[in-house]
Amino acid sequence: MSDARFEDGMDKPLRLIAFDAEDLQVLSAMTQDAVWPAVQMVWHIKERRFAVLLNRFRWEARGTSQAERVQSVLSFEDVKAVQTQGFDRTDPDLILSLLSITFTPATDGTGACLLTLAGDGAIRLEVEALEAGLRDVTRPYASPTNRAPSHD
């Protein structure tokens, strides 16, 4: 079995930006069930950027002959604070699984993005303004299970 190729898929690498809660729902849907090692998260304090290199399931390619994943960068700009709960972010063997991303607005454009993880984990990003991006950075590859993720 060989890896999937963009040429085999229905579309080009994904590149999305979210500036409001409605846009963020699209990013959330496209990253649902993405997995990554906990150590693949980085917060650049001076640049006020939080980023994750994740392996996302290609929901947009569902229904093709094989299930695909692709490495993508999920990033958030204007991040003032990062809090984690329910996991040890320094554990090199810990794999996190993303369930959803939501935004709770506060006053004058500020707010908090919440990345809800499987197993009761969470990442909370306090942002000055909502600006999130999702960009595929590798070619798709065959999902090791060749199945779409499912939830009970």
What number is the average pLDDT over the span 104-113?
92
Does residue 58 belong to any structural domain of this protein?
A: yes
What pLDDT, on a 0 to 100 scale, did the predictor assign at position 71? 95
Phi, psi of 109 (to 5 degrees): 90, -15
**pTM for this entry:** 0.87
Does residue 51 belong to any structural domain of this protein?
A: yes
Does residue 109 belong to any structural domain of this protein?
A: yes
Does residue 27 belong to any structural domain of this protein?
A: yes
pLDDT over 80 (residue 3): no
pLDDT over 60 (residue 86): yes
pLDDT over 70 (residue 4): no
Does residue 48 belong to any structural domain of this protein?
A: yes
What number is the average pLDDT over the span 13-36?
95
What pLDDT, on a 0 to 100 scale, did the predictor assign at position 18? 96
Q: Are 45 and 82 in contact (CB under 8 A)?
A: no
Q: By residue range, what is the domain housing residue 87?
A: 16-138
Domains held by the chain: number? 1
For 33-67, the pLDDT digits (tens) are: 999 999 999 999 999 999 999 999 988 877 666 78
What pLDDT, on a 0 to 100 scale, did the predictor assign at position 1? 47
User: What residues contact 122, with CB distance under 8 A and at least 6 apart?
Assistant: 84, 85, 86, 114, 115, 116
